[in-house]
Amino acid sequence: MLPDLGLLLEAEPSKDTLTVLDRGLDAYNSQFAPAHVEEFAFALKTADGVVLGGVHAIAWAGMLYLKQVWIDEAYRGQRRGRALMLAVEAEGRRRGCTAACLDTFEFQARPFYEKLGYEVYGTLRFPAGFDRYFMKKAL
């Protein structure tokens, strides 16, 4: 017999809840796609270890997903972002990825990604009045 269930709001989800959700979804997905996921990051750091930018990426099923890309405003426009992107793409290729994808809001970095060869394949309009772009690139 299955236990009774309660529907509980976690306004700030616990790490335990998120871990269970991740593991459950991963277990289900592994029936249909490779289970092996490689997560990595490149960081821009000062000599004393302060992070001033970086890329958080996931390599899975031949796809490189750029989950987070950020550089402190004081360090933008100095080709550091380009260097980060080229490094993460090279690492993705090294890990067997043949394509990359990411998403960005209209007030973020779409032109930057387009200069690097990414193209929009989908757009989602938010009720608040701005767009989110889904972008891809062959590696």
| CATH number of the domain that residue 112 is part of | 3.40.630.30
| Residue 75 included in any domain | yes
Query: Is a pLDDT exceeding 90 seen at residue 100?
Result: yes
Beta strands in the chain (DSSP E): 38-45, 51-60, 63-71, 99-105, 119-125, 131-138
Grade residue 118 by pLDDT with cuts at 50, 70 and 90. very high
* Strand bridging mode 99-105 / 63-71: parallel
**Angstrom distances, CA of residue 47 to CA of 25, 52, 77, 80, 114:** 39, 11, 21, 16, 31
Evaluate whether residue 119 is within a structural domain: yes
Containing domain of residue 71, as a range? 36-138
Average pLDDT across the chain, whole number? 95
Task: Average the pLDDT over each of 8-12, 32-36, 90-94, 126-130 and give the range with the smallest value.
Answer: 32-36
Neighbouring C-alpha atoms within 13 Å toward the C-beta of 48: 0
Which band of pLDDT confidence, cut at 50, 70 and 90, is reported for residue 69?
very high
Q: Indicate whether 24 belongs to any domain.
A: no
pLDDT at 96 over 90: yes
How many structural domains does the chain have? 1
